[in-house]
Structure 1
Amino acid sequence: MTLAPERAAAPAASVTPRSSTDHLLDTPLPQLLAEFRVDVSELPIPDPAFTGGTYIRKDGSMLFALRAGQPDAEREMIARAMLGKALRVPMPELPEPYQLTEL
């Protein structure tokens, strides 16, 4: 299920001026996803240890794969952390047992 519509590509440089920790933490998540061209898909993964993954496309847009049925607070925290990691913006540490791994 796609939660955000496909958007026209914009140059990757357009994301840098507003890429700050405060911006990523304070802006409503739907606004951030639109601003940074992030599409979200829910995956029917029954394993609660899987919280999400990020794919960065060649045009700079992103796809977040999140677990279907994930609690809203977890989804919010993971999406913001993945966005910060993808944009190379310093973000607060995630609480245990969460962690981000870059492949």
Structure 2
Amino acid sequence: MAKSAISTPMPTVAHLMGAPLSQLVDELRVDIEESSITDAGFTGTAVIAGGEVIIWLPPNRPEVERDLMTRHLIADAFGVDGMPPLPEPYRTTDITRITDDVNRAIREVQA
């Protein structure tokens, strides 16, 4: 897992899994926004910018899915290892490396 670029203290797995979600969001200064993406395969994304974490979740999903994905996306954003695996069909993907590869390829084409 990549080192966190966020200055907020690192949460533990026990705290991420056991604390009320509203408490986690407040303590870790995470913003939750509604995405306009409604594709069934999209379950959310975490964006880290300027030391802040913004979780984008699709609209009209069951509360249990929103809770589950928010906790895992927070763990990913903070670089917390040891989270229990997501149940099928859910998963998270770190696109940082993919984005870096795409940006590098674009620069090479433009050169």
Report whether the alignment pairs 1:56 with 2:48.
yes
Shift of 1:45: 2.4
Instruction: Provide the C-alpha distance between the structure 1 equivalents of 2:92 and 2:38, rounded to a whole number of angstroms.
Output: 19
Shift of 1:44: 2.9
Q: Tell whether the 8 Å contact from 1:38 to 1:64 is kept in structure 2 after alignment.
A: yes
Unpaired segments ≥5 residues, structure 1: 1-10
Instruction: Provide the C-alpha distance between the structure 2 equivalents of 1:98 and 1:28, rounded to a whole number of angstroms.
Output: 21
TM-score by length of 2: 0.75
SS in 1 for 2:73: helix
TM-score by length of 1: 0.80
Q: Indicate the structure with greater helix content.
A: 2
Report whether the alignment pairs 1:41 with 2:63.
no
Number of matched residues?
89
Instruction: Determine which of 52, 77, 82 is the counterpart of 2:73.
Output: 82
Instruction: Determine which of 1, 9, 15 is the counterpart of 2:9.
Output: 15
Shift of 1:57: 1.6
Cα deviation digits, residues 25-68 of structure 1 (max 9, x gap): 0000011011111111112322121100010122x221000001
SS in 1 for 2:24: helix
- Larger Cα-atom Rg: 2
Report whether the alignment pairs 1:28 with 2:20.
yes
Runs of 4+ in 1 over 4 A off after TM superposition: none
Instruction: Provide the C-alpha distance between the structure 2 equivalents of 1:36 and 1:61, rounded to a whole number of angstroms.
Output: 9
Instruction: Provide the C-alpha distance between the structure 2 equivalents of 1:45 and 1:85, rounded to a whole number of angstroms.
Output: 20
